[in-house]
């Protein structure tokens, strides 16, 4: 009889979930498993999903979701997506535009009139494409204040700053502030709140039942993976920072299984109309960032690839899509390093090269 190990327990768990209707665990791939070796074992882990032609070509998890009690990562484990969340914020704005509740070119101050005069010419389009020039809210926070800030607090900080990095619409600068304000606009235009709007209009309709824009005391994240950082050679939990409660720029928790449903919805009109998807995926702003010639609405654009990374204390994530090849690679991890974008590209090459 084989020795009972965490890896064997995982295989049993995945087999049982497959019988219950979940996507089956794909067979080991020595090449991908070798790339993921540092995530395996009694360490903070990762989930990897490769979707080819709408089907899981590779779906496996590694390491621990909760180091303290040895809870293993599974494909259902929910990670804080950090800035991968921005594509959902952008989708919410596009949905409201389709509803006729707002316009992409609306002045920002139509929805948030308390902003100072520097925001007079800023538009929602500029916030979506990081061309507003808004100041970074992280730089405006009091370092002595350890309370978590929320999207409304971002607005309060910006209300006191009648300056910007550049004239709106003239340049690009990645802006968490812009997406925090967009979350507030979603709330105002929908008559709901941002988290509820996402859940009712995006997550539940797509069957992403375990995905949440997480709010402490309001919802519970099922199958939650907690974030860790390596400090003095040891993994220590670093799950929350003072900015972790801001939702619009990075507060969504999800799993590779739920994100597979999101990816599928980006190929047809089950959620957004074709015109809205084209807006999201078309170059809106030029950038000088590596591998990001252009930014769309919540998506980085590099040739045929649409991608976005997400980094917050204790989490590093990435989604890379190649729509023409019907290929998507998702890597979610609950650790502070390494940044997984190069890893996802290496994984993607295994399928891209095979198709040539």
Q: Which residues are designated catalytic?
A: 83
Residues 6+ positions from 19 with CB-CB distance below 8 Å: none
Task: Report the alpha-carbon distance of residue 182 to residue 298 in Å, rounded.
Answer: 11
Q: How many CA atoms lie within 13 A of 346 on its CB side?
A: 13
> Where does residue 247 rank: exposed (0-12), middle (13-18), buried (19+ CB within 10 A)?
buried
Task: Report the alpha-carbon distance of residue 246 to residue 134 in Å, rounded.
Answer: 16
The conformation of residue 314, written as its DSSP 8-state character, comes to T
Indicate left, alpha or beta for 136 from its phi (over 0: left) and psi (-120 to 50: alpha): beta
List the beta bridge partners of residue 67: none
**Residues 185, 79 contacting (CB under 8 angstroms):** no
Task: Report the alpha-carbon distance of residue 271 to residue 275 in Å, rounded.
Answer: 12
Task: Report the alpha-carbon distance of residue 206 to residue 265 in Å, rounded.
Answer: 8
Output the six-digit token pair for 215.
């709010």
**Residues 48, 40 contacting (CB under 8 angstroms):** no
């Amino acid at each position: 009889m084989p020795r009972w190990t965490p890896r064997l327990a995982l295989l049993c768990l995945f087999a049982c979930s497959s019988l219950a209707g979940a996507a089956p665990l794909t067979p080991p791939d020595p090449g991908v498993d070798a790339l993921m070796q540092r995530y395996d074992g009694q360490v903070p882990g990762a989930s990897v999903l490769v979707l080819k032609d709408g089907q899981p070509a590779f779906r496996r998890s590694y390491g621990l979701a909760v180091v303290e009690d040895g809870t293993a990562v599974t494909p259902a484990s929910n990670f804080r997506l950090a800035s991968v969340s921005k594509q959902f914020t952008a989708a919410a704005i596009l949905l409201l535009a389709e509803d006729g509740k707002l316009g992409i070119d609306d002045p920002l101050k139509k929805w948030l009139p308390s902003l100072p005069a520097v925001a007079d010419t800023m538009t929602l389009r500029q916030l979506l494409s990081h061309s507003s020039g808004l100041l970074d809210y992280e730089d405006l926070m009091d370092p002595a204040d350890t309370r978590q800030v929320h999207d409304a607090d971002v607005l309060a900080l910006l209300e006191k700053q009648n300056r910007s990095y550049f004239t709106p619409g003239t340049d690009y600068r990645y802006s968490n502030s812009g997406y925090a304000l967009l979350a507030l606009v979603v709330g105002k235009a929908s008559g709901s709140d941002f988290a509820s709007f996402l859940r009712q209009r995006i997550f539940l309709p797509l069957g992403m039942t375990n995905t949440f824009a997480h709010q402490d005391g309001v919802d519970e994240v099922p199958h939650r993976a907690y974030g860790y950082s390596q400090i003095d050679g040891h993994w220590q939990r670093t799950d929350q920072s003072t900015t972790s409660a801001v939702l619009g720029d990075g507060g969504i928790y999800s799993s590779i299984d739920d994100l597979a449903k999101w990816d599928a919805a980006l190929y047809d009109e089950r959620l957004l109309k074709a015109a809205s998807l084209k807006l999201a995926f078309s170059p809106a702003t030029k950038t000088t960032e590596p591998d990001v010639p252009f930014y769309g609405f919540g998506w980085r654009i590099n040739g045929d690839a649409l991608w976005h990374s997400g980094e917050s204390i204790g989490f590093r994530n990435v989604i890379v899509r190649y729509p023409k090849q019907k290929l998507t690679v998702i890597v979610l991890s609950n650790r502070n390093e390494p940044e997984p974008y190069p890893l996802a590209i290496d994984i993607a090459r295994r399928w891209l090269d095979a198709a040539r």
